[in-house]
Amino acid sequence: LQGIFVLGLPYALLHSGYSGLFLIIVAAALCCYTGKILIACLYEENEDGQLLRVRDTYEDIANACCKKLSPKLGGMVVNVTQVMELIMTCVLYLVVSGNFLSHSFPHVPVAEKTWSVIAFVTLLPCVFIKTLKTVSKLSQLCSLVHFMIILVVMTYCLTQIQQWSWAKFQLSIEFEDFLLSVGVIIFSYTSQIFLPTLEGNMKNPGEFRCMLNCTHFFACVLKTTFALTAFLTWGEETKEVITDNLPSFLQTLVNLCLLTKALLSYPLPFFAATEIVYACVSRGNSSIYRSSLFALGVRGSFLLLTLLMAMFIPHFALLMGLTGSVTGAAMTFLLPSLFHLKLKWEKLSFLEKCADISLFILGFLSSLAGTVCSIKGLLEVFG
């Protein structure tokens, strides 16, 4: 919930004004709710009224919803969507790693793509990751680094408090710029892809809802505070990545921290993507699935694929925006609300049905608007 997207929130406020602050709060509540209803779809009541976990993955939920149409169609669509988003996320981390290294050592005559290859070499140990416990430890270190970055930026902003002015907030906004801000804010909270695996690996799954409430609440407080203090400091000069506004003596330190964060963030989507592939292959041949050589081959192939995509995909940011608009909105709003309505319709109250339908419409409109804006950008770039 505290990814690199957070660094773009002050820029989102520049284009959304006061409505951006409201969106940060609303997005936290909506994403927390869709996380809960997605996990609710994993459970069914038995004859005694007790909840039993009868499904394990996002794919299982999709298959249960589409079983009358086709037993495997829903799972195939979800798996393809998940793998696409996870791979693009891994590629993004490689690209930004090369960017951070390039900016940290501007006097070294090395191209940005070469820096990405150097960053890739440090990620080779990922082929040996076998459990979510290892990933969680790396993610914990990633969180610590993230808080260091936030602390540095906010400390500098507080030293400039005499320059703050609420007059920097705009009352009138451009519609396309506002849509961009909505995308940045909403997708800074997305985590639905990881939730079924996370909940299934918790020592006490009964604490999941409480955990989700707490994490989204604190994420909302941190995002709001960070975005507000940064925007009040730089106003209309706020850049797309807020660390670019820092003075040069702090930029190198923060860029190296961001590099560390990007590299530590890579294992989570990488692990999730390979687990999806393993689950698909294991149905056909469990002995292959248990083969350590096969596992290394799959992980190695994924690593190499992300490197090749980082090297050769042109205009990556626009393609990432297009992928995010399609897969991000689908996995965060469209599918959880649709699956919840399908599997729990008879047990839902009128208000819950209205909430799910509203979220489905919101997800559809967000996806459509983001896709149109991304395609428009691609057409402009390619002439």
Q: pLDDT tens digits, residue range 1-20?
A: 667 778 888 888 888 888 88
Tally of structural domains, the chain: 1
137: domain range?
5-382
The pTM for the full model equals 0.82
Q: Specify the higher pLDDT residue, 149 or 285.
A: 149
Specify the DSSP class assigned to residue 44.
E
The per-residue pLDDT for 39 is 95
The CATH number of whichever domain residue 359 belongs to comes to 1.20.1740.10
Q: Which residues contact 330 (CB under 8 A, 6 or more apart)?
A: 81, 363, 367
Helix, strand, coil shares, percent, the chain, to 5: 80, 0, 15
pLDDT at res. 2: 67
Q: Distance between CA 253 and CA 60 in Å, rounded?
A: 44
The single-letter DSSP state of residue 330 is I
Q: Are 11 and 242 in contact (CB under 8 A)?
A: yes
Using CA atoms, how far residue 25 sits from 30, 182, 211, 216, 352, in Å, is: 9, 12, 18, 9, 20
Query: What pLDDT digit, counting tens, does each position of 112-153 carry?
Result: 888 889 999 999 999 888 888 888 888 889 888 988 888 899
Q: How confident is the model at residue 221 (pLDDT cuts 50, 70, 90)?
A: very high
**Both structure tokens of 10:** 């002050």
Region label for 335, one of left (φ > 0), alpha (ψ between -120 and 50) or beta (otherwise): alpha
